[in-house]
Structure 1
Amino acid sequence: MAKTQHLANQSVISNIDWLCVFIYIMLVIAGWVNIYSASLPLDTGEAVFDLSQIYGKQIIFMLLCIPLIVVLLSLDAKFYEKYSVIFYGIGILSLLGLFVFGKTVKGQTNWYQFGGFGLQPSEFVKISTALFLAKYVSDSQTTFATFKEQLIAIGIFMFPVLLILKNDTGSAILFMSFFLVLYREGLPSWYLWTGFLTIVIFLGALIIKPFVLIGFIIIAMIIHFVLNKKINRNPLIYLILGAFMSIFVFSVDYVYDKVLEPHQKDRINVLFGKDVDLQKEGYNLNQSIIAIGSGNWFGKGFLEGTQTKGSFVPEQHTDYIFTTVGEEWGFVGCIVVIGLFVTLFLRILYLAEHQKTTFPRVYGYSVAGFLFIHFFVNIAMLIGIFPTIGVPLPFFSYGGSSLIAFTILLFIFLKLDANKVNEW
């Protein structure tokens, strides 16, 4: 019996997907190199292990990940499934605790402070929510044919969203990637279309007059009604949907003026170039575009970025770290980094699709979804095609909570994937 267990453990370790591990290491190292460049003070030497500096602290976080990975891979794969509900409960309690013990940073109360280090629980709740959602889908073997099944699954990730939304809008938005995961498992596609159209209509109502936008909506609905002859085309349903969308169009101004915070309105204005002062609201985006564009094909070289060395780009070591890649390593460097990320996404999706059981498959898709939406939103906001919402670049941006959480997220899946040799 003991010999069988030993052989099983050996096979699990030998089946770790080393391509994902290699890409992870490459991204973490490349991230640190760019954090070093972005945070190295001009009036100091180039000491790598100066723990008083941001790049020195990042080394500590990187070193902490090594024993963490060993523990994650050593635990039995069933551990993550068995205790997923407990992890989820702890995550919810950590979010509730922010209302009492949270520290306010830049107007957002989404941190716990422990001495000189902070902890952002929303980063870790992504992991516990992914585990619990995978547990629910695998246990119920649901095909999402009933509204009850759909409501429970959506409620699992929307509950933490409601707790996060007030203080961390960016993280709350990222949880929407779970809709893609559930769509893979059978969630009706109208959920995705509803979300997509809501965003399009909301943004459209900000730049197009209400009656003009409603006219476009009516034309689109008529075209849809005429062309889709194979579906059950009930005119009453079209009328009801048209009425709801028209009401929504007229409600956008109220939401924009009365619900959104001033900084949120500023970010939307920057996206559309509405009444923007490039030295105030549009400063971050303007400097970001300048930094990325100035790198040309091959960049200015390591530690040679004038925008980076001049500290023109705010928060360059965190949310804006990719601007350092663009300036110092150029278009070629950007393509290499993007290529590593895309390869990692595709590899995780491939591994997830080839799982023998539901739990690791759903969790794998959740991992791919979270990593991709972080990657997409982060880079999109740096080039002005998405509002700035404070999203770190996975494995790349400075921050202990971010790096450790993404490491846990990834290596739990790699453990589950390696264990598929023991699944029947």
Structure 2
Amino acid sequence: MVRETNRHFKFDWITIILFFLLVGFGWLNILSASHTGTTVNYFDFSQPFGKQLIFIFLTFGLIVILLAIDAKFYERFSSIIYIVSMLSLVGLFIFGKNVNGATSWYGIGGMTIQPSEFAKMATALAVAKYISDLNTNINSLKDQIQTFIIITIPALLVLLQNDTGSTIVYGAFFFVLYREGLPKYYLIIGISAILLSILSLKFGIIITTVIALLSVVGYHFLSKKKLRIFQSVLILIAAIGISFGVKFFYQSILKPHQQDRISLWLRLEKDPVKLEKMKQTFAYNLNESEKAISSGGFIGKGFMEGTRTTGKFVPEQHTDYIFSTVGEEWGFLGSAFVVVVFVLLLLRILHLAELQKSQFSRVYGYGVASIIFIHFLINIGMVMGLIPTIGIPLPLFSYGGSGLWAFTILIFIFIKLDSNRINEW
């Protein structure tokens, strides 16, 4: 009986420690970014740092529940969890609350819940369940289509709620499918489509077509595997189609503020007067964020000593732009520490995923790592001006109960699944 009892406490404590390092350091930066005076009441629950403290406290209870549930529950009921999550997304079109132009929240008393954060976890479970089914062959076109449908449904529902950032995250599942044997040509097509899209917006359709033609000719002469004529023609037609499609999407589908953000990122605007106006209107957050990060230097200005942070120069700094607080107050060393902890967490999850004997657990583990990686990459890239501004939080770090709880569930389900491997004898 003693041996049986001890089994239930064998979890991967390295992952758990890394999790709490990020949550704890994140709260310190939320405190610094949101406090309103020289004297701080750490239990002022009217302020974001006070509310986040409540969310963190409740997270402990959530973790206990997640680890107490039998690991088989998550696999057995993954389809039901997915369906319920999709229904919660659909319900937003009727009962949703609009915040900053996105109808992505349910208002419950004085709180708001964002179902799209939890839908990522539900999708990871559903994808893991489907791929691990004995009748599923990821090399089969039928199974590839069905897997894409599982991923596309929540992505489209989130996109219709005007939450572009959360929609992009679903591209993370491509890494999962590639690990499980998705043919390499999907990777080539995906990267090529992204490059063609950027080139089309930056240089125009004609130049992009010429670049595509030169690439096809170069591949034909340099590669051992020669392209047939119809394959070359098909590639060129696809490249032209993508170029026209991207132009149409940019000019006719995207909203003006979204166009301006992409235009600023790619430096499409040539008129210096209009460009400066766009910077003041749509790149204010980014400009102030870059100034805050660069002002931190190597060791930073010190905790709660950042002048741009305490002066509230960066709007919404405690949410999407929380990394700018790290850069100003903790400097390069603090920023590097955050990046290193995230990388260690990702590597640890991937390492554990490869150790799994169950394909369901392995696929889900890769889903966890991929979702965190995309969030991490986009958020820090956005704050540093490397990619267009997209509203997406830094996992476990940014303010918000929905994000914290969703990532807690995402990670600790995997920790529970991994505990089965640890406790086997």
Common topology (TM > 0.5):
yes
Q: Does 1:10 align with 2:11?
A: no
Q: Which residue of 2 aligns with 1:192?
A: 187
Gaps of 5+ in 2: 270-274
What is the aligned counterpart of 2:119 among 117, 122, 125? 125
Q: Which moved more, 1:292-301 or 1:218-227?
A: 218-227
The offset of 1:304, in angstroms, is 0.9
The structural deviation recorded for 1:34 is 0.2
The one-letter amino acid of 1:300's match is: K
**Do the aligned residues in 2 keep the contact of 1:143 with 1:187 (CA within 8 Å)?**
no
For the 8 Å contact 2:66–2:413, the answer to whether it is kept is yes
Give yes or no for the alignment of 1:349 onto 2:350. Answer: yes
How far the C-alpha of 1:248 sits from its partner, in A, is 2.2
**What do the CA deviations read for 1:231-277 (whole angstroms, capped 9, x no partner)?**
36322111111112113213332221111111211210221234433
Tell me if 1:330 matches 2:300: no
* CA RMSD, Structure 1 to Structure 2 (Å): 1.4
Residue 176 of structure 1: aligned partner: 171
- Cα offset for 1:126? 0.6
Q: Gaps spanning 5+ residues in structure 1: where? A: none
Residue pair 1:36, 1:55 contacting (<8 A) in 2 also: yes
Distance in 2 of aligned mates of 1:247 and 1:149: 26
Q: Is the 8 A contact 1:12 1:419 kept in 2?
A: no
Q: Deviations over 1:346-389 (max 9, x none)?
A: 00000000101101000000000001110000000111111111
Aligned ranges for residues 131-146 of structure 1 at < 5 Å?
Answer: 131-140=125-134, 142-146=136-140
Deviations 1:13-65 (A, max 9, x none): 22x111111111111010000000000013x6211011111100000000010
Letter in 2 for 1:398: Y
Counterpart in 2 of 1:97?
Answer: 91
Equivalent runs, 1:25-424 vs 2, <5 Å: 25-42=20-37, 45-140=39-134, 142-167=136-161, 168-229=163-224, 231=225, 233-275=227-269, 276=275, 277=277, 278-421=279-422
Counterpart contact for 2:220–2:226, Cα < 8 Å: no
CA–CA distance in structure 1, aligned partners of residues 199 and 311 of structure 2? 37
Q: Compute the displacement of 1:423 (Å).
A: 5.6
Deviation of 1:154 (Å): 1.2
Q: Cα–Cα, structure 1 residues 252 and 132, in superposed 2: closer, same or farther, change >3 Å?
A: closer
2: CA distance, partners of 1:423 / 1:184: 25
Match of 2:272 in 1: none
Distance 2:5 2:366 in 1: 25
Residues 205 and 252 in structure 1, CA contact (< 8 A), matched pair in contact too:
yes
| TM-score of the two chains, using structure 2 as the length reference | 0.95
Distance 1:421 1:23 in 2: 19
Distance 1:346 1:147 in 2: 31
Percent identical residues: 49
Which structure 1 residue ranges, 4+ long, deviate > 4 Å from structure 2?
Answer: none
2:395 and 2:403 in contact (8 A); partners too: yes
Measure how far apart 1:10 and its partner are: 2.5
Amino acid at match of 1:410: I
Calculate the TM-score normalised by the size of structure 1. Answer: 0.95
Q: 1:305-356: per-residue Cα shift (whole Å, max 9, x none)?
A: 1110111111100000000000000000000111000000000000000101
Q: Distance in 2 between matches of 1:103 and 1:70?
A: 31
Q: CA deviation at 1:141?
A: 5.6
How far apart are 1:9 and its partner, in Å?
A: 5.2
1:275-298 deviation digits (Å, cap 9, x = unpaired): 433321121111111011100000
Shift of 1:422: 5.1
Letter in 2 for 1:219: L
CA displacement at 1:196 relative to structure 2: 1.8
Whole-Å Cα distance in 1 between the matches of residues 235 and 267 of structure 2?
31
Q: Which amino acid aligns with 2:68?
A: S
- The one-letter code sitting in structure 1 at the alignment partner of 2:382 is M
Take 1:350 and 1:161, find their aligned partners in 2: how far apart are those partners?
28
Given that residues 88 and 132 in structure 1 are in contact (C-alpha distance below 8 angstroms), is that contact kept between their aligned partners in structure 2? yes
Q: Secondary structure at the match of 2:396?
A: coil
